[in-house]
Structure 1
Amino acid sequence: MLIPAAATAADRVALVVGMSDYKHIPALDNTLNDARGLAETLEDIDFDVTLALDTPLAELSGILGDFAFKAETSELALVYFAGHGVEVQGENFLIPIDANVQSNADVQRQSVSLDQLLATVERARKMRIVILDSCRDNPLGDLIDLTSADTDGTAEASGGGLAPASPDRGLLVAYAAKDGQVALDGSGDNSPYATALMERLPEPGLEISLMFRQVRDMVLQTTGNRQEPHTYGSLSGVPFYLAGAAEGQEDVIAEDRSVAWSTLRPEQEEQLLALADTGDTRSMLGLAYMRLNPNVNTFDPESAVGYLTRAAEAGAPEAQFELAKLYERGIGVEPDPARALELYRAAAEQDFADAINDLGFFHHQGSLGLIPDPQRALTFFERAADLRHPQAQFNFAALIDDGLIPSKGPEDAAGYLYQALRSGSIDVLNLLTERPTMFKTETRRALQAELQTHGFYDGGLDGQIGPGSITAIRRAFGLEG
């Protein structure tokens, strides 16, 4: 599905947080400079930026909630935090300026967890990034033992650094310093990490994964290898240029990822090749997509199978899914339905929604050697819908509307339709605005109520999808009206 860039309220949104003037723990010198500088850098490359400086916890919590709602209709959502961060019993916390902590429990109650930051970006449509330029020292000294379950403990403090992050697939967490290490505040006006980000972010045509790799190399060089940035999690296989395309390069976010990856500049393809040799599965995916585009000179399906096989064996679910399609269709390899089914199932076991949705169709139709089983197909469709697969959300809503899911009713159908709109499904937008009567009146009435709950609709709940309802549907999608 292609969503016109001009139609969305904000394709790229960022929340930039800087904490410096701490009331009860040591202040930090450069964090406000870093936050202001990064906010300006992001604005220069067309991000819609929310800047929060020296914000107390209650205010920050409200800002996070507002940003999470805005992020739902963005292509990319990014959060940057510069300030004190600590690990408590394996969980990471970012400390606001008014925190007054005397125990682990105080840290947990008076701070924002990394999980909360991840939740603010998790529903963005394409890319989800959290950057922590924190943990520049241990702000609590020997006050408490951050590793102890005893909340009144005063034993030896943690050695500093954050715990390794384990975000869900499709989320990238970037640390200024690798887990267990302390980041440097810098001797100038900005930290080494913020300086590198501000230099690399604005480069047109620099694919996002390679951008973070170049930031890492810059910080290592600047700090004499004393600080090594690190990324955790994984982005989807969609290439993304934070600063847009370079001159002569097509800036495209397309369903056909082979087309999108083929726009990568030659020197970046060389970097992907080097990263693939180190075992980086996203680089393998990108190289495979490039070799599946029949319209470029890198077209080589057999080579694509090789890259996908390596990535699939390393456990990358998107590679398993793409390799399954090649075995199903006999592209670059002899057709093998059994192997295709095995790979679809492997990807589904890792909650890869595309594979789960396809397995629903295979069980419904009896494809790949399966015996038709419509009831089992429904379980796959529901699972994919609950994983926010837009097509599955719409289809499952239609199944509920048809009375085929006895345990669910119109409110459930409306909930799935609303989430499909928020996820950016242009097909759902068109169907609900042009052919709303394909759903029963009860479901349409429930959809109006859902839109009203979220502040998009203030009309009557009559099930008639007139101009007011259509405007609300468009606003829920992310259009102006």
Structure 2
Amino acid sequence: MHIFHKTALRLLVLTIAFFLAFPFMASAEGRVALLIGNSLYDRPEMSLRNPANDVTELDIALTELGFSVRKVQDADRTEMRAGLAWLAKAAKDTEMAMVFYAGHGVQVAGENYLVGRDLQSLSFDALERSSVTLSEIRKVLSESGTALGMIILDACRNNPLSDAGVGQTGLASVRGGAGLLVAYATDPGNVAYDGEGDNSAFTTGLLKNLASPHLDVRLMFGRVRQDVVRETSGRQIPWVEESVLGEHYLVSPPDSNQNSDEIVAWRDATDAGTRDALDQYLGDYPNGLFQAFATERIEQLSLDRDDGLTNVQATTQLASLDADDVRAALDLLGYVNQERGIEAQPEGLTDDIKRAFEVWRRAQLVPDTTDANMLLRDAARLSMFLAATTAQRIRTDTVIRSSIRKHLELASVDVAQIRKLALTSEEAKSFLPEVEADLDAIRQDYERVAQRLDASLTYYHKLVVSASKHFQSQIRPDLFWQNNGTSRSGLVEPSLFEDAAQFVRHVRSASSRAPGSYAWLTDFLEQG
């Protein structure tokens, strides 16, 4: 780029700012990582191109993030276990401890085996002699006392073991213990790709997002998932199982004074369930995505008065329904919240739940003809509205993010050329601070959109999981525009119909996939 094209960079910044309707270094200590990359196997047909490259690149990236790293390449079982022994000592009471494995993995009877270099034959006995198990790794991390244990498995490649009937293709999902996150290159039972370049598709996504600032590790893996789904055209969908306590950042936590994304603010307001929280949301976002829903919930709260409510009818009507489904429906509709004292969520149809149902029933136009199944239909309908609204935000931000990414890549190349020119040209040197500032502004805009997309995808996923678990039998396309006597029936816009129907498909397909699958993400690829 010619040095006088600095004006183009500034115009680009202004153009991007036009699209942005909504407004995110501490040093790290006590971080350790064991990286195992098995590329060259004693059985030549099992050798892989990228695992050694993957751990080499991760070694550099993690060291820059303050990790003490031990790298093990083309290892047999003895060498892998020696690495685990090192980790058991190094990870004691640390901030973070990570195990990354790239190579062949196979599941047998629910256990995941990470295959060492020295596999001698395609048999279960040989597999046991040459592998370490995921259970062994989990045990080391759980006993270390680390605040966050991470197991990252880029080990779902197809291999002769599964082809020979020793175990199943891919890996089996497992629940992590408290403070443990397990990330898989692809969802349970599927195959990951070794990649056409120097790294696998999954590790490429990991390297790209590992050093993202202000990003909790769960959201960081969410971005990895987005990149892998896009790069593989939906053939590979990374998977995360976690029971992580609190938030954990690889690079600098966000400023606590920063404004929340609107979807985060809406989620927080509905989780609190109080009028003050909803008023705060409306004050911050008077014309927001969920303005009508917030107004309706405030109206619902005003109906909640102790004026002779009885639980007799509620007990009778709710008897045929699952208590968890009832609670989920009342929660989504805004009748269960901390203000009503149901925060602890005891099991069964408690008096508070029965009373909340009576409040909901009384809010209907013809309470005496309202039954408990209508509660689930009402919640299913609201799920569809919220999901369709969120989907439209996802589609918009996916397009914006893609556009900014392309401009960022081009601008980065141009600025790099100006930096090179600045070594010998005073004129170029004089322009350099300005164009670098413009490039930094583009990066910040990209990050704002990426964070907003993180929040939208997380919320949409929550709606899919909840609806598939609690309202799947009630969810159907025609429910979206049925008039049930509430103000929501007047909110339907033609543009929401397609996204509502898509949500129905996502909910229905969720039952055929492992719980919590992000397979629905592939439907947002076309704007990626």
The answer on 1:140 being equivalent to 2:149 is no
CA contact (8 A) 2:216 2:253 kept: no
Per-residue deviation, residues 113-164 of structure 1 (Å, max 9, x unmatched): 011111222234321110100121213364x4224xxxxxxxxxx4x21122
How far apart, CA to CA, are the structure 1 residues paired with 2:100 and 2:259? 28
| TM-superposition CA deviations, 1:81-140 (whole Å, max 9, x none) | 011111122211001112223411221232000111112222343211101001212133
- Which of 23, 26, 29 matches 2:42? 23
What amino acid is aligned across from residue 173 of structure 1 in structure 2? V
Q: State the partner residue of 1:78.
A: 98
Asked whether the equivalents of residues 216 and 228 of structure 1 are also in contact (C-alpha less than 8 Å), the reply is yes
Partners of 1:27 and 1:286 in 2: CA distance: 52
Ranges in structure 1 where 5+ consecutive residues have no aligned partner: 148-157, 251-262, 274-283, 307-311, 315-322, 324-330, 344-481
8 A Cα contact 2:149 2:180, kept in partner: yes
- C-alpha distance in 2 between matches for 1:285 and 1:271: 6
How far apart, CA to CA, are the structure 1 residues paired with 2:282 and 2:93? 34
Q: Which has the larger radius of gyration?
A: 2
- Give the TM-score normalised by structure 1: 0.50
- Per the TM alignment, residue 31 of structure 1 is displaced from its structure 2 partner at its CA by 0.8
C-alpha distance in structure 2 between counterparts of 1:42 and 1:287, whole Å: 38
Q: 2:252 corresponds to which residue? A: 244
For residues 396-439 of structure 1, the C-alpha deviation after alignment (integer angstroms, 9 at most, x for no partner) is xxxxxxxxxxxxxxxxxxxxxxxxxxxxxxxxxxxxxxxxxxxx
Corresponding residue number in structure 2 for 1:253: none
Correspondence 1:224 to 2:228 = no
Post-superposition shift, 1:313? 5.6
Q: Distance in 1 between matches of 2:103 and 2:268?
A: 35
Secondary structure of the corresponding residue to residue 140 of structure 1: helix
The one-letter amino acid of 1:97's match is: R
Aligned residues of 2:103 and 2:115 also touching (Cα < 8 A):
yes
d(CA) in 1 for partners of 2:50, 2:243: 29
CA distance in 1, matches of 2:281, 2:69: 38
Moved over 4 A (4+): 284-291, 297-300, 339-343
TM-score, with length taken from structure 2: 0.46
What is the alpha-carbon distance in structure 1 between the residues aligned to residue 155 and residue 43 of structure 2?
A: 17
Q: Secondary structure at the match of 2:100?
A: strand
Distance in structure 1 (CA, Å) of the matches to 2:159 and 2:53? 21
> Quick one: which amino acid aligns to residue 224 of structure 1?
S
Quick one: distance in 2 between partners of 1:11 and 1:299?
A: 42
Distance in 2 of aligned mates of 1:299 and 1:16: 48
SS at structure 2 position matched to 1:227: coil
One-letter amino acid matched to 2:126? D
Structure 2 counterpart of 1:161, from 166, 170, 185 = 170
Match of 1:46 in 2: 66
Q: For residue 185 of structure 1, what is the aligned residue in structure 2? A: 194
SS of the residue corresponding to residue 101 of structure 2 reads strand
Deviation at residue 241 of structure 1 after TM alignment = 1.2
Task: Report whether the alignment pairs 1:215 with 2:208.
Answer: no
Q: Where does residue 85 of structure 2 map in the other structure?
A: 65
- 3-state SS of paired residue (1:333): helix
Which one has a larger percent helix, Structure 1 or Structure 2? 2
One-letter identity of the residue aligned with 2:249: Y
Identity over aligned pairs, percent: 33
| 2:260 maps to 1:266 | yes
1:335–1:86: structure 2 CA closer, same or farther, 3 Å change rule?
Answer: closer
SS at match of 2:186: coil
Kindly indicate whether the alpha-carbon contact (under 8 Å) linking 2:156 and 2:171 is maintained by their aligned counterparts in 1: yes
Paired with 1:232 and 1:32, the residues of 2 have a C-alpha distance of 25
Distance 2:269 2:98 in 1: 22
Kindly indicate whether the alpha-carbon contact (under 8 Å) linking 2:148 and 2:179 is maintained by their aligned counterparts in 1: yes
Write the letter of the residue equivalent to 1:198. Answer: L
Structure 2 residue aligned with 1:130, among 117, 129, 151?
A: 151
* Rounded Cα–Cα distance in structure 2 between residues aligned with 1:44 and 1:271: 31
Pairs aligned (count): 279
Distance in 1 (CA, whole Å) between partners of 2:273 and 2:204 is 32
CA pair 235-97 structure 1, distance change in 2 beyond 3 A: same
**What is the DSSP-based 3-state SS (H/G/I as helix, E as strand, rest coil) of the residue aligned with 2:161?**
coil
| Alpha-carbon separation, structure 2, partners of 1:340 and 1:234 | 19
Query: 1:135 touches 1:182 (CA, 8 Å); kept in 2?
Result: yes
Give, in angstroms, the shift of residue 75 of structure 1: 1.4
**Structure 2 residue 215 is matched with structure 1 residue 206:** yes
Q: Structure 1 residue 340: deviation in Å? A: 5.3
Alpha carbons of structure 1 residues 101 and 288: separation in structure 2 relative to 1, 3 Å: farther
Cα distance in 2, alignment partners of residues 74 and 181 from structure 1:
33
